[in-house]
Amino acid sequence: MKYPVDISVHPAVESFFDPQTNTISHVVVEQKTNACAVVDPVMDIDYAAGRITYDHADEIIAYIHKHDLKLEWLIETHVHADHLSAAPYLQSKLGGLIGIGEQITVVQDTFGKVFNEGTEFQRDGSQFDRLFKDGDTYQIGEITAFAMHTPGHTPACMVHVVGDAAFVGDTLFMPDGGSARADFPGGDAGQLYDSIQKVLALPDEMRLFMCHDYAPGGRDIMWETTVAEEKAENIHVGKGTSRAKFIRFRKARDATLQMPNLILPSLQVNMRAGVLPKGDGGKPMLKVPLNAI
């Protein structure tokens, strides 16, 4: 597919790091009209205490208010397994539409069974305002953004490209971080390699913004690089690493990894577009299925 790339457009990007989950949320701004989108916002949880707070999201809200921005989109690059989405909280305060890849339906079907959800849990993606297909475009003010389907980490992963800025979710990490795991249900190392190649086919000057960084080697947290830097230096796919070599490496590495600390609450909440599930009596309630993932 030919994507409508336009690197002459240079949106402003302000990024917010959440140290609890090593997640970076981004506010991308179209400066002519002050329209903006928020990518991968985080809701705070003290899992042991069963307490939800919104400190991270409130920082983003304060930034949007300070700069008199209009929130048009809340973009989820995928159904995250390591943090909870604050999209509905931001939407309640600022408006905007919540969007995710159309393969959310596959994720909902898979984890609807894992969490033994009843028939009241819709598996058609209707909890979201927009389901993106590969190549779909949308507007942030006067900028035409587009979505690239990049499965492998999860079936619903999308990279969102806004001018010369691409928000890669968990498809790629910083060059010294490599790539994300591909062993969750619906993940596939070969698909992940192919998706990474789609990203690396973007212009060399394209700015790439990460969703996570874990500061390998003790360096400072980083979240911005370029296609050229990834092609030259990425420790998993750089310098022309072959598909077969990547698959062997990714499968071997994934077999050594533990599940993310917040995977159980994250999946239950994020497959609902960030809305907390409810138990008997209508109170917010999370499930802990045993030996299910």
pLDDT of 179 reads: 98
- DSSP H helix total and E strand total for the chain: 7, 15
What backbone phi and psi angles, to 5 degrees, belong to 84?
A: -95, 140
Residues of the chain with confidence (pLDDT) below 70: none
CA atoms of 189 and 154, how far apart (whole Å): 10
- Residues 163/7, Cβ–Cβ less than 8 Å: yes
pLDDT of 281 reads: 82
The DSSP call for residue 152 is S
Q: What's the chain's Rg over C-alpha atoms? A: 18
Give CA 112 to chain center in angstroms: 20
Single pTM value for the model: 0.96
pLDDT of 290 reads: 86
The CATH H-level superfamily of 13-258 is Ribonuclease Z/Hydroxyacylglutathione hydrolase-like (3.60.15.10)
Q: Where are the domains of the chain?
A: 13-258
CA atoms of 100 and 125, how far apart (whole Å): 9
pLDDT of 1 reads: 86
Q: What is the pLDDT of residues 8-29, one digit of tens each?
A: 999 999 999 999 999 999 999 9
pLDDT of 119 reads: 84
- Residues 17/75, Cβ–Cβ less than 8 Å: no
pLDDT of 142 reads: 98
Q: How does strand 35-39 pair with strand 51-53?
A: unpaired
Q: Which residues of 226-259 are buried (b: 16+ CB within 10 A; e: fewer)?
A: bbeebbeebbbbeeeeeeeebbebbeebeeeeee
